[in-house]
Amino acid sequence: PNVLLLGAPGAGKGTQSRRLTEEFGIEHVTTGDALRGNKEMDISHLDLEYDTPGEYMDAGELVPDPVVNEIVKKALNDADGYVLDGYPRNESQTEYLDSITDLDVVLYLDVADDELVGRLTGRRVCEDCGATYHVDFDPPAEAGVCDDCGGDLYQREDDTEETARERINVYEENTQPVVDYFREKGVLVEIDGEQTPDEVWDDVRDAVAERA
Ligand code: AP5
Ligand code: ZN
Protein backbone atom coordinates (compact mmCIF):
# COMPACT_ATOMS: atom_id res chain seq x y z
CA PRO A 1 0.00 0.00 0.00
CA ASN A 2 0.88 3.68 -0.45
CA VAL A 3 0.30 5.33 2.92
CA LEU A 4 0.45 9.02 3.79
CA LEU A 5 0.95 9.76 7.49
CA LEU A 6 0.10 13.30 8.61
CA GLY A 7 0.52 14.89 12.03
CA ALA A 8 2.22 17.72 13.89
CA PRO A 9 5.88 17.60 14.97
CA GLY A 10 6.01 15.01 17.76
CA ALA A 11 2.64 13.44 16.92
CA GLY A 12 4.29 10.02 16.53
CA LYS A 13 4.73 9.75 12.76
CA GLY A 14 8.24 8.29 12.97
CA THR A 15 7.24 5.87 15.73
CA GLN A 16 4.26 4.49 13.77
CA SER A 17 6.07 4.55 10.40
CA ARG A 18 8.69 2.14 11.71
CA ARG A 19 5.99 -0.33 12.65
CA LEU A 20 4.22 0.07 9.28
CA THR A 21 7.39 -0.78 7.36
CA GLU A 22 7.78 -3.99 9.35
CA GLU A 23 4.11 -5.06 9.22
CA PHE A 24 3.45 -4.31 5.54
CA GLY A 25 6.94 -4.63 4.02
CA ILE A 26 6.90 -1.09 2.62
CA GLU A 27 9.54 1.67 2.45
CA HIS A 28 9.69 4.51 4.96
CA VAL A 29 10.02 7.72 2.98
CA THR A 30 10.70 10.60 5.34
CA THR A 31 11.81 14.01 4.19
CA GLY A 32 13.06 14.83 7.70
CA ASP A 33 15.58 11.97 7.76
CA ALA A 34 16.55 12.55 4.13
CA LEU A 35 17.24 16.23 4.87
CA ARG A 36 19.11 15.43 8.10
CA GLY A 37 21.44 13.29 5.98
CA ASN A 38 21.99 16.28 3.65
CA LYS A 39 22.11 19.21 6.07
CA GLU A 40 25.27 20.66 4.46
CA MET A 41 24.12 20.32 0.83
CA ASP A 42 24.89 23.47 -1.17
CA ILE A 43 21.61 25.03 -2.36
CA SER A 44 23.02 28.53 -2.89
CA HIS A 45 22.09 28.37 -6.61
CA LEU A 46 18.44 28.79 -5.53
CA ASP A 47 19.39 32.20 -4.17
CA LEU A 48 17.06 32.03 -1.15
CA GLU A 49 17.31 32.94 2.53
CA TYR A 50 19.91 30.27 3.47
CA ASP A 51 22.50 28.25 1.53
CA THR A 52 21.98 24.81 3.16
CA PRO A 53 18.97 22.73 4.32
CA GLY A 54 20.45 22.54 7.82
CA GLU A 55 20.09 26.29 8.38
CA TYR A 56 16.36 26.09 7.72
CA MET A 57 15.98 23.02 9.91
CA ASP A 58 17.82 24.46 12.90
CA ALA A 59 15.57 27.54 12.68
CA GLY A 60 12.47 25.31 12.60
CA GLU A 61 11.51 26.64 9.14
CA LEU A 62 10.52 24.69 6.05
CA VAL A 63 13.26 23.77 3.57
CA PRO A 64 12.43 25.20 0.10
CA ASP A 65 10.02 23.18 -2.06
CA PRO A 66 12.38 22.48 -5.01
CA VAL A 67 14.82 20.69 -2.69
CA VAL A 68 12.17 18.62 -0.93
CA ASN A 69 10.09 17.78 -4.03
CA GLU A 70 13.15 16.32 -5.74
CA ILE A 71 13.89 14.06 -2.76
CA VAL A 72 10.31 12.77 -2.62
CA LYS A 73 10.01 12.12 -6.34
CA LYS A 74 13.12 9.98 -6.39
CA ALA A 75 12.22 8.06 -3.22
CA LEU A 76 8.65 7.29 -4.34
CA ASN A 77 9.89 6.16 -7.75
CA ASP A 78 12.19 3.65 -6.10
CA ALA A 79 9.57 2.30 -3.66
CA ASP A 80 7.14 -0.60 -4.11
CA GLY A 81 4.69 0.57 -1.44
CA TYR A 82 5.61 3.26 1.04
CA VAL A 83 4.70 5.18 4.15
CA LEU A 84 5.34 8.85 3.47
CA ASP A 85 6.08 10.90 6.62
CA GLY A 86 6.85 14.63 6.86
CA TYR A 87 5.51 15.53 3.41
CA PRO A 88 3.50 17.37 2.10
CA ARG A 89 3.80 20.36 4.43
CA ASN A 90 2.13 23.09 2.35
CA GLU A 91 -0.28 23.52 -0.54
CA SER A 92 2.30 23.49 -3.28
CA GLN A 93 3.87 20.24 -2.02
CA THR A 94 0.36 18.75 -1.87
CA GLU A 95 -0.26 19.58 -5.53
CA TYR A 96 3.13 18.19 -6.49
CA LEU A 97 2.44 14.94 -4.64
CA ASP A 98 -0.92 14.60 -6.40
CA SER A 99 0.88 14.88 -9.73
CA ILE A 100 3.45 12.11 -9.09
CA THR A 101 1.65 9.32 -7.18
CA ASP A 102 -1.60 7.71 -6.02
CA LEU A 103 -2.37 7.30 -2.33
CA ASP A 104 -4.31 4.37 -0.86
CA VAL A 105 -4.61 5.68 2.71
CA VAL A 106 -4.25 9.09 4.38
CA LEU A 107 -3.87 8.90 8.16
CA TYR A 108 -3.83 11.82 10.57
CA LEU A 109 -2.40 11.44 14.08
CA ASP A 110 -4.28 13.96 16.19
CA VAL A 111 -2.38 15.29 19.23
CA ALA A 112 -3.06 18.56 21.10
CA ASP A 113 -0.41 21.29 20.97
CA ASP A 114 0.40 21.30 24.68
CA GLU A 115 1.39 17.61 24.53
CA LEU A 116 3.77 18.07 21.58
CA VAL A 117 6.56 20.17 23.12
CA GLY A 118 7.15 17.66 25.93
CA ARG A 119 7.32 14.80 23.46
CA LEU A 120 9.88 16.62 21.32
CA THR A 121 12.20 17.86 24.08
CA GLY A 122 12.22 14.38 25.71
CA ARG A 123 12.87 12.47 22.49
CA ARG A 124 16.11 10.50 22.06
CA VAL A 125 17.13 8.79 18.80
CA CYS A 126 19.52 5.87 18.17
CA GLU A 127 22.46 7.01 16.07
CA ASP A 128 22.86 3.55 14.53
CA CYS A 129 19.34 2.28 13.73
CA GLY A 130 17.15 5.38 14.10
CA ALA A 131 14.87 3.88 16.79
CA THR A 132 13.09 6.58 18.83
CA TYR A 133 12.70 6.73 22.61
CA HIS A 134 11.35 9.19 25.14
CA VAL A 135 13.07 9.84 28.47
CA ASP A 136 9.73 9.59 30.33
CA PHE A 137 7.12 7.96 28.06
CA ASP A 138 9.25 5.27 26.41
CA PRO A 139 12.67 5.03 28.08
CA PRO A 140 15.25 2.44 27.00
CA ALA A 141 16.19 -0.27 29.52
CA GLU A 142 19.58 1.37 30.05
CA ALA A 143 19.74 5.19 29.87
CA GLY A 144 21.32 6.44 26.63
CA VAL A 145 21.57 2.99 25.01
CA CYS A 146 19.32 1.56 22.25
CA ASP A 147 17.34 -1.56 23.22
CA ASP A 148 17.32 -2.82 19.63
CA CYS A 149 20.96 -2.51 18.62
CA GLY A 150 23.04 -1.17 21.55
CA GLY A 151 23.79 2.10 19.75
CA ASP A 152 24.16 5.45 21.53
CA LEU A 153 21.12 7.70 21.81
CA TYR A 154 21.32 11.42 20.95
CA GLN A 155 19.02 14.43 20.99
CA ARG A 156 18.10 16.01 17.65
CA GLU A 157 19.42 19.56 17.16
CA ASP A 158 15.90 20.87 16.48
CA ASP A 159 14.42 19.32 19.64
CA THR A 160 15.25 22.29 21.89
CA GLU A 161 12.18 23.90 23.42
CA GLU A 162 12.57 27.08 21.36
CA THR A 163 12.91 25.33 17.99
CA ALA A 164 10.19 22.81 18.86
CA ARG A 165 7.75 25.68 19.50
CA GLU A 166 8.71 27.34 16.22
CA ARG A 167 8.19 24.05 14.34
CA ILE A 168 4.72 23.75 15.85
CA ASN A 169 3.92 27.34 14.77
CA VAL A 170 5.13 26.63 11.24
CA TYR A 171 3.02 23.47 11.23
CA GLU A 172 -0.14 25.32 12.34
CA GLU A 173 0.30 27.90 9.63
CA ASN A 174 1.48 25.81 6.66
CA THR A 175 0.56 22.17 7.24
CA GLN A 176 -2.77 22.22 9.07
CA PRO A 177 -4.36 23.36 5.76
CA VAL A 178 -2.99 20.17 4.16
CA VAL A 179 -4.84 18.12 6.78
CA ASP A 180 -8.00 20.13 6.09
CA TYR A 181 -7.61 19.53 2.36
CA PHE A 182 -7.62 15.74 2.76
CA ARG A 183 -10.46 15.94 5.31
CA GLU A 184 -12.61 17.91 2.88
CA LYS A 185 -11.83 15.38 0.15
CA GLY A 186 -13.32 12.76 2.49
CA VAL A 187 -10.25 10.49 2.51
CA LEU A 188 -8.76 11.35 5.90
CA VAL A 189 -8.68 8.70 8.64
CA GLU A 190 -8.35 10.53 11.95
CA ILE A 191 -6.59 8.67 14.75
CA ASP A 192 -6.33 9.68 18.40
CA GLY A 193 -2.58 10.14 18.76
CA GLU A 194 -2.76 10.74 22.51
CA GLN A 195 -3.26 7.06 23.30
CA THR A 196 -0.24 4.88 24.16
CA PRO A 197 2.02 3.98 21.22
CA ASP A 198 0.56 0.42 21.20
CA GLU A 199 -3.02 1.69 21.15
CA VAL A 200 -2.22 4.14 18.36
CA TRP A 201 -0.61 1.27 16.47
CA ASP A 202 -3.77 -0.87 16.72
CA ASP A 203 -5.74 1.91 15.04
CA VAL A 204 -3.05 2.62 12.42
CA ARG A 205 -2.62 -1.03 11.48
CA ASP A 206 -6.38 -1.63 11.20
CA ALA A 207 -6.90 1.47 9.07
CA VAL A 208 -4.18 0.43 6.62
CA ALA A 209 -5.18 -3.25 6.53
CA GLU A 210 -8.79 -2.28 5.70
CA ARG A 211 -7.74 -0.17 2.73
CA ALA A 212 -4.67 -2.00 1.41
P1 AP5 B 1 10.75 16.11 10.46
O2 AP5 B 1 11.93 15.28 10.72
O3 AP5 B 1 9.73 15.65 9.46
O4 AP5 B 1 10.08 16.41 11.87
P5 AP5 B 1 8.58 16.65 12.32
O6 AP5 B 1 7.51 16.63 11.30
O7 AP5 B 1 8.74 17.90 13.08
O8 AP5 B 1 8.21 15.36 13.09
P9 AP5 B 1 9.07 14.66 14.16
O10 AP5 B 1 10.04 13.70 13.60
O11 AP5 B 1 9.65 15.68 15.09
O12 AP5 B 1 7.93 13.94 15.00
P13 AP5 B 1 7.20 12.55 14.79
O14 AP5 B 1 5.76 12.82 14.51
O15 AP5 B 1 7.91 11.67 13.84
O16 AP5 B 1 7.31 12.01 16.28
P17 AP5 B 1 8.02 10.72 16.92
O18 AP5 B 1 7.39 9.49 16.42
O19 AP5 B 1 9.48 10.82 16.84
O20 AP5 B 1 11.20 17.57 9.98
C21 AP5 B 1 12.28 18.24 10.57
C22 AP5 B 1 12.60 19.51 9.75
O23 AP5 B 1 12.97 19.13 8.41
C24 AP5 B 1 11.45 20.48 9.55
O25 AP5 B 1 11.34 21.36 10.65
C26 AP5 B 1 11.87 21.18 8.23
O27 AP5 B 1 12.88 22.13 8.47
C28 AP5 B 1 12.47 20.05 7.44
N29 AP5 B 1 11.48 19.36 6.58
C30 AP5 B 1 11.08 18.05 6.69
N31 AP5 B 1 10.18 17.77 5.76
C32 AP5 B 1 9.98 18.90 5.04
C33 AP5 B 1 9.15 19.24 3.94
N34 AP5 B 1 8.29 18.35 3.41
N35 AP5 B 1 9.20 20.51 3.46
C36 AP5 B 1 10.03 21.42 3.98
N37 AP5 B 1 10.84 21.16 5.02
C38 AP5 B 1 10.82 19.91 5.55
O39 AP5 B 1 7.55 10.94 18.42
C40 AP5 B 1 8.01 12.04 19.17
C41 AP5 B 1 8.34 11.61 20.61
O42 AP5 B 1 7.13 11.21 21.28
C43 AP5 B 1 9.28 10.42 20.72
O44 AP5 B 1 10.16 10.65 21.78
C45 AP5 B 1 8.38 9.23 21.00
O46 AP5 B 1 9.02 8.24 21.78
C47 AP5 B 1 7.22 9.87 21.73
N48 AP5 B 1 5.95 9.24 21.40
C49 AP5 B 1 5.55 8.75 20.19
N50 AP5 B 1 4.30 8.27 20.27
C51 AP5 B 1 3.89 8.48 21.56
C52 AP5 B 1 2.67 8.21 22.27
N53 AP5 B 1 1.62 7.62 21.64
N54 AP5 B 1 2.60 8.57 23.57
C55 AP5 B 1 3.66 9.16 24.18
N56 AP5 B 1 4.82 9.44 23.58
C57 AP5 B 1 4.94 9.10 22.28
ZN1 ZN C 1 19.48 1.30 17.66
Q: What contacts 166, CB < 8 A, 6 or more positions away?
A: 59, 60, 61
Strand partners, 113: none
Domain span(s) for CATH 3.40.50.300 in the chain:
2-112+163-211
In short, whether 138's Cβ falls inside 6 Å of ligand 1 is: yes
Q: How far is CA 167 from CA 44, 71, 149, 159, in A?
A: 23, 21, 30, 9
Please name the fold of domain 2-112+163-211: Rossmann fold (3.40.50)
User: Torsion-angle region of residue 195: left (phi > 0), alpha (psi -120 to 50) or beta?
Assistant: beta
How far away, in angstroms, is 180 Cα from ligand 2 center? 35
Q: How far is CA 104 from CA 9, 35, 138, 190, 211, in A?
A: 23, 25, 30, 15, 7
Q: Which amino acid is at 114?
A: D
Tell me: is residue 39 an annotated ligand-binding position. no
In short, whether 54's Cβ falls inside 6 Å of ligand 1 is: no
The per-residue pLDDT for 212 is 82
Q: How many beta carbons lie within 10 A of that of residue 181, not counting itself? A: 17
In short, whether 9's Cβ falls inside 6 Å of ligand 1 is: yes
How far away, in angstroms, is 154 Cα from ligand 2 center? 11
Counting ligands in written order, the one closest to the CA of 123 is 1
Instruction: Work out which ligand 1 atom sits closest to the CA atom of 30.
Output: 3
The per-residue pLDDT for 123 is 98
Tell me: is residue 205 an annotated ligand-binding position. no
Q: How far is CA 70 from CA 35, 36, 52, 80, 154, in A?
A: 11, 15, 15, 18, 28
In short, whether 4's Cβ falls inside 6 Å of ligand 1 is: no
Q: How many beta carbons lie within 10 A of that of residue 4, not counting itself? A: 23
- One pLDDT digit (tens) per residue for the chain, 212 residues: 999 999 999 999 999 999 999 999 999 999 999 999 999 999 999 999 999 999 999 999 999 999 999 999 999 999 999 999 999 999 999 999 999 999 999 999 999 998 999 999 999 999 999 999 999 999 999 999 999 999 999 999 999 999 999 999 999 999 999 999 999 999 999 999 999 999 999 999 999 999 88
Question: End-to-end alpha-carbon separation of the chain, Å?
Answer: 5
Active site residues: 13, 89, 123, 156, 167
Give the CA dihedral 95, 75, 122, 119, nearest 10 degrees.
30
| Distance between CA atoms of residues 157 and 135, nearest Å | 16
> Smallest Cα–Cα separation from 69: which of 105, 96, 37?
96
Tell me: is residue 89 an annotated ligand-binding position. yes
